Structure formats: structure tokens, C-alpha cells
Structure 1
Amino acid sequence: MDRIQKAVDLFESGQSCSNAVFAAYSDLLGVEETTACQIASGFGGGIGGREELCGAASGMVLCGGIGYPVEDKAAVRARVCRMLDAFEARFGALACRELKAAAKASPCAGEKDCSRYVRAAAQIVGDVLSKEEA
């Protein structure tokens, strides 16, 4: 199963948006899926349910350090900015409350609508990682 589908499947099986994205890539950090979900659990619902930064986007941020030494803060920050910029360019916002408001304006609104943000976030992580490997 590819990582994008894994993230969507995790979300649709009841994991939070942040858990789903981070857990789909956590093995690259040597972190087990269950542990990844524990680490990311507070970011769901826009950080503690406050509808701030989208949980799927937070999951991307948690993936930001994959392959970098801890000391390489500038490279990690640049990667995270690329990820967040790509997400915001696609959806017009990073905040959970703004994304939910936009979704309510569409005919297919609902919690499951968040699966598109999970899918996009997982895809962005994969795209950024693969471009850097090339």
C-alpha cells in the first residue's frame, strides 16, 4: 500500500488527521505507527480541537525532519515551509476553521471531507521527499 492511501485509510478508520499523515511516514524516522499516533494525537482538529493549524498540515510538519540531522534547523524549516506553502496554495488556507468553513460552502461538506486534506498532505510530503532524493 502506498503512503498516501495508508494515510487516508488510517484517517477513515478513526485516526485523527495529524495521526494519519505522520503515521504514514513515521517508519522513515524509525517510529512505530502506534507511537507516531501517540505523538501526533494532540495536533488533531487543528491542534487540540481548537481549529488552528490543520491537523493534516501538522502531520506534514512532523514529517519535516525526515532524513535531516537535528542540527540542520535551516534545512528542516525550509522543507516545512515548502510543504505548508504547497498545502496553502492548493486549499487557500492552513487553518482548520477556514478549511472547514470553505468545505461547508460546498455540497459535500462534512468530517469525511477532511480526508481530502489528509490525502493532499500525505502527497505533499511524498512529493517533497522524492524531489529532494532526485
Structure 2
Amino acid sequence: MSKREEAVRRHKQGYNCAQAVACCYCEEMGIDERTVFEFMEGFGLGMGGMEATCGAVSGAVAVLGRLNSTGNLGKPDSKGATYQLTRELVRRFRIKNQSTVCRELKGMTTGTMIRSCQGCIEDSVKILEDILDRME
């Protein structure tokens, strides 16, 4: 099963968009699924109220941070590179979907949905996979 299929399956099980994306990468991140699930809980539904960043994008950004960070607490030296990867992910998602804001993607203000949650999950995972492939 691909990461995209796995993320969609998790979402259909009741995981929010952020959890559905991030929990697919537990093994790669070296973190148990319950911990990732708990950390990502508040990021679903555009950070709990559709006003902010799409949960699927937030989940992908969390994975990027975990996998790119050097974890150097004394001298945080990987932030710039992680920010660059994050900007790429967000830029590519925005180009594909016109927005990264949950409310806008769901058409809450216009009445016209731009992208479904499943579509946002699939797009976020696809972009994340492309970026991670280059990091290897």
C-alpha cells in the first residue's frame, strides 16, 4: 500500500488530516504512532477551526521537520534547510490547490469547494514523497 493510500485509509478510520499524513511516517521518524497521533491532534480542521493551514499540509511539515532536523539543541543548525523544504512543500500545494487555508479549500466563504480532505491528503503526501526522495 502506498503512503497516499495509507493516509487516505487512516482518514477514513477517523484520523484528522494531519494525523492521517504524519502517522504514515512513524517508522521513518522513529516515533510510535500513538505519540504522533497525539501531537498532531490539534492541527486537524485547519488548526481546530478551519481558519488556518490545512491539516494535511501541517502533517507533512511536521514530518519534514522531524526527518530534516539535526536535533542539535546547543546549536540549531538545520532550521534554514528545513524552512526551505517547508516553503517548497507549501508553494507546490498552493500552486496545485490555490490555497493552504482549510476554510478556503473547503469553500466555506465562497460556497465552492476547491479540494476535498482526501484530495488535500493525497496532494500533501505526493509532494512530501517527492521532497523526501530528493533528501535520500
> Normalising TM by the smaller chain, what interval?
0.7 to 0.9
Tell me how far 1:13 sits from its aligned partner.
1.1
* 2:50 maps to 1:83: no
In the other structure, the counterpart of 2:34 is 34
Counterpart in 2 of 1:99? Answer: 105
Correspondence for 1:59: 59
The alignment-based identity, stated in percent, is: 29
- 1:4–1:119 CA contact under 8 A, matched in 2: yes
Distance 1:37 1:21 in 2: 10
Distance 1:30 1:104 in 2: 41
With structure 2 as the length reference, what TM-score do the two structures score? 0.86
Say whether 1:20 aligns with 2:20.
Answer: yes
Q: Do the aligned residues in 2 keep the contact of 1:64 with 1:76 (CA within 8 Å)?
A: yes
Aligned to 2:2: 2
Range moving further from structure 2, 116-125 or 49-58:
49-58
Partner of residue 70, structure 2: 69
TM-score (norm 1): 0.87
Question: Could you list the per-position Cα deviations for residues 48-72 of structure 1 after superposition, in whole angstroms to 9, with x for gaps in the alignment?
Answer: 2243111111111111221430321
Conserved 8 A contact 1:22-1:60: yes
Total equivalences in the alignment: 129
List runs of 5+ in structure 2 lacking aligned partners.
none
